[in-house]
Amino acid sequence: MNRVDVVLVGGGQSALATAYFLRRAGISFEILDDQPAPGGAWQHGWDSLHLFSPAQWSSLPGWLMPPSPEPYPSREHVVHYLAEYERRYQLTIHRPVKVKSVSRLAHGLEVSTDRGTWLAQVVVSATGTWSRPYIPTYPGRELFEGLQIHSAHYRNPDVLRGKRVLVVGGGNSGAQILAEVSRVAETTWVTLTEPLCLPDDVDGRVLFERATARWRARMEGQPDPFPVGGLGDVVMVPPVKEARDRGVLHSVRPFARLTAQGVVWANGDHESIDAIVWCTGFRPALGHLDALGLARPDGTIETKGSRSVREPRLWLVGYGEWTGFASATLIGVMRSARDTASEIQTYLSNLQIGARA
């Protein structure tokens, strides 16, 4: 059994940011990543995916992302940055290692994998959400005989060329994939409500500044300084602007059910379609923690900050607002990672004091 102070489960941006602060604190750790190469979930983004923030506003702690040839870095640029980040800080990452379960022992947490077992005083779960794509329940979805792709597995529009396609989901992934697919296919954009498209001069940098101001106001009990516009609203990156100019950036409300050959809309009209691209988000990938019995009905785990309330040796970083303000973003994870490392340092110090007493 491998013994270590901290095991980080996951090798993407959240794990790297946390490892940076753990190293600064002099804490020993091991990183276990189930991916074959660096880059985390960014390896699996669609081919044309770009950030909607400039490079300097998309950086992990300690090292600014190098400028990219384009105003907004590409997926490949982000993957290269994360790989270089690992090398820059000499982070030893075991990959591919599949963590099967984390379970309680008297003197730590046992991390069982397909390549051995680790005994850790602390586990940081940083597995993100990419491996748990979410598709909402629609009557008849299992009957539909056409192609169904979640944005997690969409790479480019080639397989959709010439087809009748529904793009379902109103966030940035839905808008960007709609913009691309609509060039080669007959598309309809389906969203729960009318998407909020931000002004052309608002990008991820501005959104993060606004989100930070909102967070501070909430902490201070002040009113929301920006009641309109959030991290999930549609940023008008160049492909989305171009789609707007072509007149395709408009949406309709959801259909009532699916049939073998298409959909039935709320007014009873039938429409034949060939494919659906589900841009409907993700759920936290926490199956490796099932043995701890911590999951709530919505799949999350109760936390105070990023620390589990019911298992004080477990921290969760990068899953969204419930694990820290803007923690699922490249720049936003820094605060959660820093606080997590600080709390772990205090916890381990108290263990050492207790052992000497």
pLDDT in tens, 111-131: 999 999 999 999 999 999 999
On whether both 288 and 272 belong to a single domain, the answer is no
CATH code for position 254? 3.50.50.60
276 within 8 A of 141, measured Cβ to Cβ: no
On whether both 38 and 118 belong to a single domain, the answer is yes
Q: Of 224, 247, 278, which marks where a domain is finished?
A: 278
Encoded tokens for 41: 């979930």
CA distances from 22 to 9, 36, 306, 316, 355 (A): 14, 24, 15, 14, 22
On whether both 190 and 92 belong to a single domain, the answer is no
Band (230; pLDDT cuts 50, 70, 90): low
Task: Return the pLDDT at 52.
Answer: 84
On whether both 335 and 256 belong to a single domain, the answer is no
- Whether residue 62 is predicted with pLDDT greater than 70 in this model: the reply is yes
pLDDT top residue among 58 and 218: 58
On whether both 318 and 298 belong to a single domain, the answer is yes
In a domain, 340, yes or no: yes
- Domain with 90 in it: 2-131+282-356
On whether both 26 and 111 belong to a single domain, the answer is yes
Q: E strands within the chain?
A: 2-9, 29-32, 93-94, 99-105, 108-113, 116-125, 147-150, 164-168, 186-190, 251-252, 257-258, 262-264, 270-272, 275-278, 303-304, 307-308, 314-316
In a domain, 202, yes or no: no
Domains contained in the chain, number: 2
Category of 197 on φ-ψ map: left (φ > 0), alpha (ψ -120 to 50) or beta: beta
In a domain, 328, yes or no: yes
CA distances from 79 to 41, 85, 92, 156, 161 (A): 9, 10, 17, 18, 28
In a domain, 169, yes or no: yes
In a domain, 214, yes or no: no
Task: Return the pLDDT at 225.
Answer: 62
Task: Return the pLDDT at 279.
Answer: 97
Q: What amino acid occupies position 251?
A: S
On whether both 11 and 110 belong to a single domain, the answer is yes
C-alpha 210/C-alpha 213 separation (Å) is: 5
- Whether residue 246 is predicted with pLDDT greater than 90 in this model: the reply is yes
In a domain, 66, yes or no: yes
On whether both 185 and 289 belong to a single domain, the answer is no
On whether both 272 and 147 belong to a single domain, the answer is yes
Q: Of 250, 278, 306, which marks where a domain is finished?
A: 278
On whether both 152 and 268 belong to a single domain, the answer is yes
C-alpha 108/C-alpha 315 separation (Å) is: 13
Task: Return the pLDDT at 227.
Answer: 58
Q: What is the mean pLDDT of the chain?
A: 92
Percent of the chain, pLDDT > 70?
Answer: 95
